[in-house]
Amino acid sequence: MRPASLSLVRQAARQQLHLASGQTAAASITAKSLTASVAAPDKVYDGTTTAAPTLTITSGLISGEAVSATATATFNSKDVLAANLVTVNSVTLADGVTGLATNYALGTGQTVAASIIPATLDIVANDDTVDYSGNPYSGGNGVVYVGFVNGETVAILNGMLTYGGSSQGAVDSGEYIISPSGQTGDNYVATYVDGMLTIQSLPFTPVLPDPNVSSSNNNTGITDPTPQSDVVSGGDNGANQNSGSFESGSNGQTIISGVTGTGGETGTGGTDTGTGGTDTGGGSTDTGSNAGNTGGSAAADGISVKMVAPSTPQTTGVVTVTVSTQLLNSGSSFTIPLPAQVKGVMTANMGSELVTLDGGAALPKWIRYDAQSKSFEVNQPPAGALPITVQVSAGDMNWKVVISKK
């Protein structure tokens, strides 16, 4: 080609380039793929497959840029025996100080081995109180379960509840141990807590005077030339008093010279006065009386509070409270004090106390927590209100207070 022609071609090319430089065309930048590893801790059984994954980006970031990743993941089973793998099912990227999340993409499906650990289930035996009958005691008074999760009940346990301990076959009055056992669960580790059996002595029956001996006042005209001696038996630990001459016997008995009136039976916090008799032979009148024992304070009658397991920052304590059926049936109001250990922690953490039903719901209207006295005020609980489990928290310490009836 001649030099003049070559110059013309070059000039035409420059003109075409100039015209093309002002044009636009649609295009896009594809997000750069990232890779990541996942870690997931073992968890305590909660009845769900939810896992707590942590994602770590291992490759794909442009040098000098950074983004972060979070994820949701699930176990391959909710049950302890079958759960062994966690799989990521969603990922979210977030901007870093030097990188934009929209410039990157991270897929799902990462897996890691992990396990579910059995939850702790406390099986607490209720206390029981019976009167002496001469028959061997057998069985128990039921149990309270503390620790079921996700709405589960005793129906998911295996085996049958049985009772052992010194209570089985007990006959004589006294206190004995009720030991529950026999139930297990694949997703729970059962911890059994003993209860207490109390066999009460039969109420004292006073010795009645000889019907052949006159013991009424105003028995004018009846004479007895030989003064007699009768024994009046007082109530348990009762105090027999006599205005005439007397000798002190053992075990609350008084030997009174002359014909003696019958002592009153043991009362609760009251005094029963026997009817005195007239001894015409001795010429003296004896008046017998029997003062009964005074019962405990009303706040303690029919209520038993027991610290079953103390609280630590890692474990929940357990307090059991039993209320007598008689007290519940009376429709009265009463106070349930917390154990000294719980009161001490609550006082030290004043202001951070939290008292709810087990699960977080508010207390029902018939039971109120008094922060000043660290006790529960119960006012006419409705039929069927018990058992009830209350969650008490202060700082990092927690207790379950299980209130049931005897």
pLDDT tens-digit series, residues 219-274: 444 444 444 444 433 444 433 344 444 344 434 343 333 333 444 443 344 444 44
Average pLDDT over residues 135-143: 95
Q: Which residue has the tokens 């008046």?
A: 287
Of 385, 367, 312, which is closest to residue 345 (Cα–Cα)? 312
Element (H, E) at 263: none
Determine the Cα–Cα distance for residues 164 and 180; give it in Å rounded to an integer.
6
pLDDT level of residue 344 (50, 70, 90 thresholds): confident
Structural domains of the chain in order of their starting residue, each with its CATH number: 32-117 (no CATH), 119-200 (2.60.40), 205-295 (no CATH), 303-405 (2.60.40)
Measured CA to CA, the distance from residue 335 to residue 378 in angstroms comes to 6
Q: Give residues with Cβ within 8 angstroms of 297, minimum separation 6.
A: none
Question: Which residues, listed in sequence order, are joined to residue 131 by a DSSP beta bridge?
Answer: 200
For residue 25, the Cα-to-chain-centroid distance in whole angstroms is 72
Mean pLDDT of 141-159: 94
Mean pLDDT of the 12-25 span:
62
> How far, in whole angstroms, is CA 216 from its chain's centroid?
58
Residue 349, amino acid: N
Element (H, E) at 341: helix 340-348
Residue with the two structure tokens 């009830």:
388
Closest alpha carbon to 72 in 52, 57, 56, 99: 52
What is the SS3 assignment for 53? coil
Instruction: Give strand pairing partners of 305.
Output: 321
pLDDT value, residue 10: 56
> Quick one: tokens of 83?
């759960």
Contact 315, 397 (CB under 8 A): no
Cα separation, 401 vs 406, whole angstroms:
16
Q: What percent of the chain has pLDDT over 90?
A: 44
Q: For residue 24, what are the β-bridge partners?
A: none
φ, ψ at 260 (rounded to 5°): -120, 140
**Strand pairing class (388-394; 353-357):** antiparallel
CA angle centred on 349, ends 348 and 351, rounded to 5°: 130
- Mean pLDDT taken over the chain: 78
**Model confidence over 312-321: pLDDT tens digits?**
877 888 999 8
Q: Are strands 288-291 and 239-242 parallel, antiparallel or unpaired?
A: antiparallel
Q: What is the pLDDT of residue 69?
A: 96
State how far the Cα of 276 lies from the Cα of 214, in Å rounded to an integer. Answer: 11
Which DSSP string corresponds to 211-242? TTS---S--TT---SS--EEEEE--TT-EEEE
Q: Name which residue leads in pLDDT, 90 or 5.
A: 90
Using alpha carbons, list the distances in angstroms from residue 27 to 24, 30, 173. Answer: 10, 10, 94
**pLDDT one-digit tens code per residue, 243-257:** 444 344 434 343 333
Structure confidence at residue 265 (pLDDT): 41
* pLDDT tier for residue 24 given thresholds of 50, 70 and 90: confident
397: pLDDT confidence band, cut at 50, 70 and 90?
confident
Rounded distance, CA 321 to CA 304, Å? Answer: 5
Place of tokens 């794909």: 60
Which pair of structure tokens corresponds to residue 386?
């018990």
pLDDT for the residue 273: 41
Q: What confidence tens digit (pLDDT) does each residue in 154-170 have?
A: 999 999 999 999 999 99
Contacts of 37 (CB under 8 A, 6+ apart): 55, 56, 58, 110, 112
pLDDT attached to residue 394: 84
Rounded-to-integer distance, Cα 355 and Cα 90, Å: 37
